[in-house]
Amino acid sequence: MVTSAAKAISKGLENGDLVIVETTVPPGTTKNIVAPILEESGLKIGEDFGLAHCPERTMSGRAIKDILGAYPKIVGGIDKKSTETATAIYTVINERGVIPVTSSTTAEMIKIAEGLYRDVNIALANEIALISSENGIDVWEVVEAANTQPYCNIHKPGPGVGGHCIPVYPWFVMNGETTRLIRTAREVNDSMPIYVVKKVSETLKHSGRSLNGSNVLVVGLVYRPGIKEMANTPARGVIKELRALGANVFGYDPVLKEEEMKSLLGVESPNGHKIDCTVLLHDCNYNVNFNTASSVTPLTMFK
């Protein structure tokens, strides 16, 4: 998509233009991929037109607020004049101001680093959750108390990492020996849906049931509560694993219509079926009442 946009722009590029890349891309993309495509116009970068990478720092459901000034804008030009021009533009747009950086490649790495930080720290939180579970400890109590120490900021554990960003950006920089921690964090977070299903199976066994043939309701299907976004949602992996082990899977999410649940994840509401176990994937107070069972076996994820 980035190269396609660059090719389209090159056909209409004029002397004095400034091109800005906001899409999160691997380090060096603006300089090594976008710039040569734009120069196919016959114009020379740094002399006839400018180019900068100014990464978007937005979250689904609040993009306009973020663009206008939730965070300072990162600006890195292909040359000094491009940086200065982009800085002038975003100073007007962003009320929190602008952080000019050394180059477009530096700006690209800054955005990726933000995602890497989240992914690695979520993986750490998930491993703390696994250790806590093995020792019969409530991980939520551990996290809340530990985070009263000013140098500790343990993220929330969960069923995996979803969205367009955090689970994707590590692959932009992942290689061999240099990124061992990053790769391990990806593996930990990708494994969490399997762990969730393991807990479902254990919960059912404690009540004398088998996962095979049980009716399981998965609540919280989108990757982020309240936002109709399905990209890399952990619910997809949970549903797949439940079905692989013989469960009859039903779903619910307040932001999805029945036909959307069917088309996006292949699940539907219980519609009168008695539910043996409910899996709550989000840290939300969902009001789920299908009147399908006298007792719904709740799953507390990490206990």
pLDDT tens digits, the chain, 303 residues: what are they? Answer: 999 999 999 999 999 999 999 999 999 999 999 999 999 999 999 999 999 999 998 877 788 888 887 889 999 999 999 999 999 999 999 998 999 999 999 999 999 999 999 999 999 999 999 999 999 999 999 999 999 999 999 999 999 999 999 999 999 999 878 999 999 999 999 999 999 999 999 989 988 999 999 999 999 999 988 889 999 999 999 999 999 999 999 999 999 999 999 999 999 999 888 999 889 898 776 766 654 443 333 445 544
Which of the residues 31, 54, 73, 111 is marked catalytic?
111
Query: pLDDT at position 241, please?
Result: 97
Would the CATH topology of 2-102 be identical to that of 110-187? no
Q: Which CATH code is given to the segment(s) 192-299?
A: 3.40.50.720
- Domain 2-102, CATH homologous superfamily name and number: NAD(P)-binding Rossmann-like Domain (3.40.50.720)
Cα distances from 56 to residues 73, 80, 191, 286, in angstroms, run 8, 21, 29, 31
pLDDT at site 118: 96
Distance CA 252, CA 222 (A): 10
Our answer to whether residue 165 is catalytic in this structure is yes
Query: Given strand 277-280, what is the order of strands in its sheet?
Result: 248-252, 215-219, 277-280, 297-299
- 68: tokens are 């206008």
**Smallest Cα–Cα separation from 19: which of 46, 47, 52, 41?**
52
Distance CA 141, CA 58 (A): 30
Confidence (pLDDT) at 119: 97
List the domain boundaries for the chain.
Answer: 2-102, 110-187, 192-299
Return the CA Rg of the chain.
23
Cα–Cα distance, 273 to 248 (Å, whole number): 10
- The Cα–Cα gap between 198 and 189 comes to 15
For residue 198, indicate whether it is catalytic: no
Q: pTM here?
A: 0.88
User: E strands, 72-229, where?
Assistant: 73-77, 98-100, 215-219
The pLDDT value recorded for residue 157 is 93
pLDDT value at position 293? 41
In this prediction, residue 297 carries a pLDDT of: 39
Predicted local distance difference test score (pLDDT) of residue 288: 64
Measured CA to CA in angstroms, residue 294 lies from 95, 278, 291, 297, 300 at distances of 54, 13, 8, 10, 19
Among 170, 165, 215, residue whose Cα is nearest residue 188: 170
Q: What CATH code is assigned to 110-187?
A: 1.10.1040.10
Q: Which of 165, 199, 205, 277 is catalytic?
A: 165
